[in-house]
Structure 1
């Protein structure tokens, strides 16, 4: 960037009462700036500036050139407030969503309340990030804080138009992807037994819904499973999507099947908060649900994209629970009608079957009388034959029984004789073996007695051996490990004992 003529700029800035002409077109402005730049280049070629002087010159150029207000379209990337002042991060994006321009914006306290109140009153929603707005601004530059825009006013009608455009684009996209009516094509549930409910925690509409839902639950007609999510703020769509996915997974893990209905209710709250629900990803998720989705957002005049994609849409949560109760009541009524129809049809079938049975019974009776007479004769003859055959078989069985009894007795006598002879032999063998064992035991005990007598202490001492005991004669010392220096011991001899003291112990 070329160096400006600071002297000329100071002269211009000193004219405080100068009235600016309307903004020139960009080409004219660029031509004038190029002409001034060429004239200043020679005069400032060898000038060395401080940073503060240079930035002050930039400030003066901006004030001289852009000392007027213009309407600028921008997206709010971030918005914060402090001490009543509002600080914006503004940006412009291309068709691919890439930021191609950005700067800071300031809405000062003395104008903020009026401007924001007008915007919220017109749009029904608070000013927030991610909105595209039309701002009336003036350019400003500070040597320490850099370039920024001072916001003088905000046109709410532009934001409303942009929101409507985004809504229409979202509907077109859902239509093009076959999602807009996808959930509506699902058949209505036959029986509503389990309902997943997504709602803000402690919402007024949720309380009205639960009052009627609890009465249904107490009758065991329907069970409701509640999951909470935030329905306002930029993070609302993401939380609602997470709640839907989590609720479906928890239900499937518990019941191993899908619920019958998914209900999304809001109820209460500002109309402006509805804009947060116009989210494509949330709408696509609702449209792709494998079960019908009923929504009751809580406003009769304003619709959101969820109303477009849901299976059924209601104005309020109370109407949602009323529809569920109506569906169950119709199901009960239809079931009772079916029951009555089945009962009537069954009664007709029973009457017809009874008449047919009576006719068949009469016919069978007339046929069976003759058959019974013939069977009676046949059975009498068969009975006589059976009696004669049975008498012959009884006589034969008696003869066989007598023969078998004689054979059994003979066999038993033979077995008893053999067993008696065997037991006598076994008795003799056992007695002989016991006597041999007693003799051997007597010889073994006498041998052990002789060994014990040979090793008697008194006999061992007489053979020239000694025995060592402790000072109290309570323990016989047989190992060097039991001895220690200066220990008092007794030496037992065959005719007395001696007292001794250990001087030293050596171990092999």
Structure 2
């Protein structure tokens, strides 16, 4: 087969065609999806074109800005826009098409129009603002009423950021106490938007624990502010259930995030000063209120003291009058009581005298009767006593006779003997000595035998 060409020959034909039809410089609108500067100072770009819905690119090409022109182009672009070339930025570039047999097609950028980028940035800002207003959330955060004292603060920032350190130093230098909790987030670069939104979501879950949320960042290029114009982040800020205070760190630029926040300040230090000043103003109002309250209390105390003194004088005057009146009434009552008492006393004396007379007469009669009864009773008692005494003498005489008959002496005189200390035959042993009392003396004896009587029955 003879109809063939080499790959390099094909690449050469393509290069010739491209240089013939697209070799001159063209102004091209594209979005930067990647931007890298190598050690030699060359800037390599990845340019894309996306549809309005932001889905997959419809066109893509590599581009390069050689180091010989990159310094001038990037410096002018930064001077005009305040930003460096970065991913996500829409640019209008002047470029020529270059085709290399090995590296393929690329664009060589010789100029960039910063005016287009500025206009595109402004267009996106306006689009974000319009969408937020259309949804009715643009001014939602400003409807919050700030507490008189903002002490419980949720801070969204990078823990290593200089702005965060400045913010904390300003608060710590004040005479007031603030309860600050950091929700760490990336606040610049491609990851900033998602990181800040994540921190806002964490704050929203604990909204009852804070008085306000503060978003701060310190320094950086203007291009780093791009995320603060994005609709998604601004919508989160506008609808956060806490008043939001921003201190993003640029004096000239006002982001959409600043617009939707409750209060916008330029720097983290300015935010801290705002919190301190608000606490100082509240403290001053409290001092004024204290002074006013003290003055009013002092005036009221003086008025009430005067009223009490006047009331005391009036009370003393009235009391004196009432006392005199009372004393007069008591004197009159005393005289009346004395008269009535004397009358009653005379009556009682007369009653007592009459009662004493009647009592004497009655007592005399009762005494005579009692005396008669007493004489009669004494006579009967004497007769009874005489009879009882006679009967007792007779009994005693009989008892004397019985005792005399039972006397041991009388028994001994009849020929009987008494063995002393022995009441039963069973109590003595053979050979035991005993004493035997007779009528006229006592004998000593020994037991040589003994016998006992059998019991009948």
Structure 2 residues without counterparts, runs of 5 or longer: 334-457
1:149 aligns with 2:107: yes
Alpha-carbon deviations, 1:225-279, whole Å to 9, x = none? 2333332212122222223333454x56xxxx33112222223333443334322
- Size of the alignment, in residue pairs? 323
Shift of 1:360: 8.2
1:86 aligns with 2:43: yes
Shift of 1:175: 1.8
Name the structure 2 match of 1:290.
241
Distance 2:322 2:305 in 1: 20
Distance 2:235 2:76 in 1: 34
Shift of 1:130: 0.8
Q: 1:180 aligns to what SS in structure 2?
A: coil
Larger RCO (alpha carbons 8 Å, 6+ apart): 2
Q: Which of 304, 308, 312 is residue 259 of structure 2 equivalent to?
A: 308
Distance 1:149 1:271 in 2: 27
Q: Superposed, which structure 2 residues align to 1:85-484 within 5 Å?
A: 85-98=42-55, 99-216=57-174, 219=175, 221-249=177-205, 257-347=208-298
Name the structure 2 match of 1:18.
none
Distance 1:185 1:351 in 2: 46
Alpha-carbon deviations, 1:476-500, whole Å to 9, x = none? xxxxxxxxxxxxxxxxxxxxxxxxx
- Is the deviation greater in 120-129 or in 52-61? 52-61
Contact 2:204 2:240 in 1 (8 A): no
CA gap 1:334/1:83 in 2 versus in 1, 3 angstroms: closer
Shift of 1:70: 0.8
Name the structure 1 match of 2:19.
63
Alpha-carbon deviations, 1:4-59, whole Å to 9, x = none? xxxxxxxxxxxxxxxxxxxxxxxxxxxxxxxxxxxxxxxxxx94444443333222
Contact 1:198 1:226 in 2 (8 A): yes
Contact 2:227 2:233 in 1 (8 A): no
Alpha-carbon deviations, 1:311-364, whole Å to 9, x = none? 111222222222212111111121122233334444555566667778888779
- Is the deviation greater in 46-55 or in 85-94? 46-55
Distance 1:194 1:368 in 2: 66
Alpha-carbon deviations, 1:354-401, whole Å to 9, x = none? 677788887799699899x99xx9xxxxxxxxxxxxxxxxxxxxxxxx
Contact 1:73 1:134 in 2 (8 A): yes
Distance 1:315 1:360 in 2: 64
CA gap 1:86/1:135 in 2 versus in 1, 3 angstroms: same
Contact 1:248 1:258 in 2 (8 A): no
CA gap 1:183/1:368 in 2 versus in 1, 3 angstroms: farther
Distance 1:150 1:71 in 2: 12
CA gap 1:210/1:368 in 2 versus in 1, 3 angstroms: farther
Q: 2:93 aligns to what SS in structure 1?
A: strand
- Is the deviation greater in 350-359 or in 362-371? 362-371
Shift of 1:301: 1.8
The CA RMSD measured in Å over matched residues stands at 3.2
Distance 2:285 2:249 in 1: 31
Distance 2:311 2:304 in 1: 10
CA gap 1:350/1:271 in 2 versus in 1, 3 angstroms: same
Shift of 1:296: 1.7
Q: 1:97 aligns to what SS in structure 2?
A: coil
Distance 1:352 1:111 in 2: 88
- Is the deviation greater in 63-72 or in 147-156? 147-156
Distance 1:340 1:261 in 2: 30
Shift of 1:180: 2.1
Distance 1:305 1:67 in 2: 42
Contact 1:203 1:268 in 2 (8 A): no
- Structure whose alpha-carbon radius of gyration is higher: 2
Distance 2:20 2:236 in 1: 53
Alpha-carbon deviations, 1:49-83, whole Å to 9, x = none? 44443333222211222121111111112223434
Shift of 1:102: 1.7
Instruction: State TM-score, norm by structure 2.
Output: 0.62
Structure 1 residues without counterparts, runs of 5 or longer: 1-45, 378-508
Distance 1:161 1:139 in 2: 26
Distance 2:100 2:125 in 1: 40
Distance 1:55 1:205 in 2: 55
- Is the deviation greater in 344-353 or in 301-310? 344-353
Name the structure 2 match of 1:450.
none
Distance 2:71 2:177 in 1: 52
